């Protein structure tokens, strides 16, 4: 089959890399891609967020399946446009993508489906929101309902800080319309785990678990980022965790989405907090995680192309479950100095080949571009370096050995990813 992948980050490089290795896939195209993706796929300079441009590209390249990496094209209706054009697409419709696009909607689905999550209040009046804080205790969690580029969640130590967060979102409209509704919720304490399910509307296949490291600096300090590293499987999980996630979260949510007339097709990302009372869902995303995907896919033994096509065409039930190698994988993100704040781009990257030649390592490009004969930085997160091993310590050593080979001006990475 011929696969078209939309997006241009580390997650999409890992998807293209795994599809390129799949026996069922003869050709991979990616739009817009990046310098690393160009080594495993044909890249096309098409705007992944423009539904009609994507439909014509899918026709041009004769795609048998389109795999949508990031959430923005989904929320813009790219999957709807492809479905209308008769092209199988791995990714939800805009209506189903509201599981990520609206926190209130996600909460409503969870409550209807009986999924364990933080208790919450939601509303559109700043005055009522301030009053609603009385129903909660510090630390207060205040969230803009809509998408706010990862900045719409505030964890506030005091009631005064929480009231300021409400005013910033609802009165000052710091995130525009995304903050016209806020969700206030119970604070959940415990380690976080990400679980991804491939869904075909009714049936799911759960991928191996991962943990990501969201803070910019060692010891989980500094600002929240898109993710500075990951490890798969997430450490210290009970044996039955994935089965529990399927039975108590993914299957009920799929049934609820189908009952609402918006069946869910694509990757469903459930973020959990492992509280003392048991796992609680923190959020859903309508895509795979980044950088967790770069730690999960190197462990996949099954054919990714067949699995994604089966999900896109409602045939997952006809297929066997997914197999994973019994290994560990650790991913270290190499970022531009200053990220997630301001940073410079256009810095030459060296050592990529040496890093990729480390046995067990894979180098995924996140923000890179080709500049003549050189590869230069082009984003905040620049590369994700993954290492596999039969123990976490070995996987970690491999990832850092490969990462040590790579240099660019201002390179910043965490030294404590997956440290035991």
- Of these partners, ligand GLY, ligand AMP, none, which one is at the site of residue 71 (CB under 5 to 8 Å by kind)? none
CB of 54 to ligand AMP, least distance (A): 26
- How far separated are the first and last CA of the chain, in Å rounded? 41
> CB under 5 to 8 A by kind: which of ligand AMP, ligand GLY, none does 282 bind?
ligand AMP
In the complex with ligand GLY, which residue's Cβ is closer, 201 or 227?
Answer: 227
Binding partner selected for residue 227 from ligand AMP, ligand GLY, none, CB under the kind-specific 5 to 8 Å limit = ligand GLY
Instruction: Tell me the closest approach of the beta carbon of residue 186 to ligand AMP, in angstroms.
Output: 6
Nearest distance from C-beta of residue 212 to ligand GLY, angstroms: 4
CB of 335 closer than 8 Å to CB of 413: yes
Query: Could you tell which of ligand AMP, ligand GLY, none binds residue 153, using a CB distance below 5 to 8 A set by kind?
Result: ligand AMP
Structure tokens at 248: 């108590």
Q: Minimum distance from CB of 120 to ligand GLY (Å)? A: 20
In order of 231, 237, 250, the CA distances from 196 in angstroms are: 14, 15, 9
Q: Least CB distance from residue 153 to ligand GLY, whole Å? A: 11
> How many CB atoms within 10 Å of residue 114?
11
- Indicate which of ligand GLY, ligand AMP, none lies near residue 305 (CB less than 5 to 8 Å, by partner kind): none
- Give the footprint of ligand GLY on this chain (CB under 6 A): 212, 227, 285, 289-290, 292
Task: Report the interface residues with ligand AMP, using CB under 6 A.
Answer: 118, 141, 150, 153, 155, 185, 187-188, 192, 214, 282-283
Of 57 and 165, which CB lies nearer to ligand AMP in the complex structure?
165
How far is it, in rounded angstroms, from Cα 267 to Cα 195? Answer: 10
* Cβ proximity to ligand GLY, 156 vs 296, nearer residue: 296
Tokens at residue 101, please? 């696009």
Residue whose CB is less far from ligand AMP, 143 or 299: 143
Per-residue HEC secondary structure of 321-366 comes to CCCECCCEEEEEEEEECCCCCCCCCCCECECHHHHHCCCCEEEEEC
Work out what residue 208 binds among ligand AMP, ligand GLY, none; the CB cut-off runs from 5 to 8 Å by kind: none
C-beta closer to ligand GLY: residue 282 or 304: 282
Instruction: Report, in Å, the least distance between residue 42 CB and ligand AMP.
Output: 33
Minimum separation from the CB atom of position 153 to ligand AMP (A): 4
| Interstrand relation of 221-224 and 215-217 (parallel, antiparallel or unpaired) | antiparallel
User: Closer CB to ligand AMP, residue 282 or residue 362?
Assistant: 282
**Which CB, 59 or 150, lies closer to ligand AMP?**
150
Which phi and psi angles does 90 have, rounded to 5°? -95, 95
């Amino acid at each position: 089959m011929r696969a078209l992948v939309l997006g241009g980050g580390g997650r999409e490089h890992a998807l293209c890399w795994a599809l390129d290795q799949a026996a069922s896939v003869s050709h991979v195209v990616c739009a817009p891609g990046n310098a690393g993706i160009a080594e495993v796929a044909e890249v096309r300079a098409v705007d992944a967020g423009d539904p009609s441009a994507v439909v014509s590209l899918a026709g041009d390249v004769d795609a048998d399946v389109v795999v949508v990496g990031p959430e923005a094209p989904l929320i813009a209706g790219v999957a709807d446009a492809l479905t209308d054009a008769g092209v199988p697409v791995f990714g939800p419709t805009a209506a189903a993508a509201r599981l990520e696009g609206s926190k209130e909607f996600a909460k409503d689905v969870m409550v209807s489906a009986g999924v364990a999550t933080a208790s919450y209040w939601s509303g559109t009046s700043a005055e009522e929101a301030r009053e609603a804080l009385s129903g909660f205790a510090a630390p207060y969690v205040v969230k803009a309902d809509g998408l706010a580029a990862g900045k719409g969640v505030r964890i506030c130590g005091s009631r005064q800080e929480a009231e300021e967060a409400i005013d910033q979102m609802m009165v000052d409209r710091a995130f525009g319309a995304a903050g016209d509704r806020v969700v206030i919720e119970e604070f959940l304490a415990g380690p976080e785990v990400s679980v991804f399910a491939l869904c075909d509307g009714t049936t799911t296949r759960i991928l191996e678990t991962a943990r990501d490291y969201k803070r910019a600096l060692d010891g989980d300090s500094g600002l929240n980022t898109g993710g500075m590293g990951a490890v798969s499987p997430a450490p210290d999980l009970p044996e039955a965790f994935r089965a529990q996630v399927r039975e108590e979260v993914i299957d009920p949510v799929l049934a609820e989405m189908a009952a609402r007339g918006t069946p869910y097709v694509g990757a469903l990302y459930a973020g959990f907090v492992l509280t003392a009372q048991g796992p609680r869902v923190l959020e859903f995303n309508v895509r795979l995680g980044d950088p967790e995907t770069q730690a999960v896919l190197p462990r996949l033994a099954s054919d990714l192309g067949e699995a994604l096509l089966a999900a896109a065409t409602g045939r997952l039930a006809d297929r066997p479950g997914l197999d994973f190698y019994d290994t560990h994988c650790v991913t270290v993100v190499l970022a531009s100095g200053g990220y997630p704040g301001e940073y410079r781009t256009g810095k030459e990257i060296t050592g990529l080949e040496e890093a990729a030649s480390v046995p067990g390592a894979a180098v995924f490009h996140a923000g890179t571009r080709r500049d003549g004969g050189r590869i230069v930085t082009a984003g905040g997160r620049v590369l994700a370096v993954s290492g596999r091993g039969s123990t976490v310590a070995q996987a970690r050593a491999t990832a850092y050995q490969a990462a040590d080979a790579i240099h660019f001006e201002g390179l910043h990475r965490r030294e404590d990813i997956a440290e035991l």
